[in-house]
Structure 1
Amino acid sequence: MKTDSQLQQDVMAELKWEPAVHAAQIGVEVKDGVVTLAGEVSSYYEKLNAERAAQRVGGVKALAVELKVKLGELGKRTDADIALSAKNIIGWTGSLPADAVKVMVEGGWLTLTGDVEWQFQRQDAANSVRHLLGVTGLSNQIAIKPTLSATLVKSDIEAALKRRAAADAQTISVAVSGGDVTLTGTVHNWAERDLATRSAWGSAGVRKVVDNMTLAY
């Protein structure tokens, strides 16, 4: 088990190792395994990479992000410009049905709404626009239309967990209510946790995944 001091040093080292992050502008605090990132970054893209870098470090129990996006002069754009760019890119994304996703921008903050059938479509929409110049934040409010019964969704998720990580599937419980899925149990690292949630989202009709799993190092 790492001490808070060791964990802080590891997170700082991982931030320095990540080329998409200016580590000198980010402060790292750790208390009882909970890591807090604070400071300023020059883009939403950099903020995301800082979060991912911290999550890669073993021993991180939870992550609090207090990073502010402060755009430089070259990165500033009007909301209308950002909205037009986002609309065009989403329109060029082959996995998305025409006009399924709506775009709204306020103060550089991009909000996506609409309805799709699969989680990968919802994620594709967000991934296609999160790196746009001038974006300071992203809210993905795209809904997933439920298309399967609760019994079938539960069966699909449990089968996926067993296929991909048989040992870990025994420690993860799946509860389904409508299109909402709740995962409980124990995983041993962030990779296992990510596998379990991706397996849940991989079933058609899932509109929400609640991660109540705990990390046990």
Structure 2
Amino acid sequence: MTTVRRESLAEQAAEILFDRIREGEWEVGGKLPGETTLAPQLGVGRSTAREAVRILAGRGILTTRQGAGVFVTATDAPANWTTALQRADILAVIEARTAVEVEAAALAADRRTGGELKLLRVALDERGRHRGDIDDHVATDMAFHRLIVVAAHSPIMLDLFDGFAPRSHHAMVDMLRLRGQYGDEADHGTHEEIYEAIASHDPAAAARLTRAHLRALHEHLG
């Protein structure tokens, strides 16, 4: 029996469960075993198994019927209205982030202090240590980008960033779930390059790298 690694347990459990569904262990309309049976099969606790079911329900693979149990509704994620609306919201957030963060990166490269650069380095290292769990990854990623806006010394930009931060967090989590992968070396390397541009007082490079990073996210979903 395949078990999951300790990081990102719910996501990994969801993928293992999805694989079993696609392999035909349960047909459409079939009922999954209860949490007490399913959890040890996945090598996780009941709460994690419950979260894995919720993730697949969000993709349209499973449905929970009150008092009856969990049933398979599809063997592949459907392209439905929920997904379409989810993508639209993510794209809108990325556009808003681009409007604020590209200019903020340029200003940060010009205006950042030595102390702010040290904090940015700490935030980047923290981001690198939290690439296994979606929520932790997004939280540390946003902390890094917020510090760039802080280093821009533009109170209005910071107000704008903080204003849509909760929506941005949810949208980024949704985006990574749609992508199915996140936190790879290429992605983290891009953030290292943004940091280096700011450290080197290179506004043009900081803006260019930030725009390219956000454009790549946009194009992936567009």
TM-score (norm 2): 0.23
- Larger strand share, 1 or 2: 1
Q: Which has the higher contact order (CA 8 A, sep 6+)?
A: 2
TM-score (norm 1): 0.23
- Larger helix share, 1 or 2: 2
Between structure 1 and structure 2, the one with the greater Rg is 2
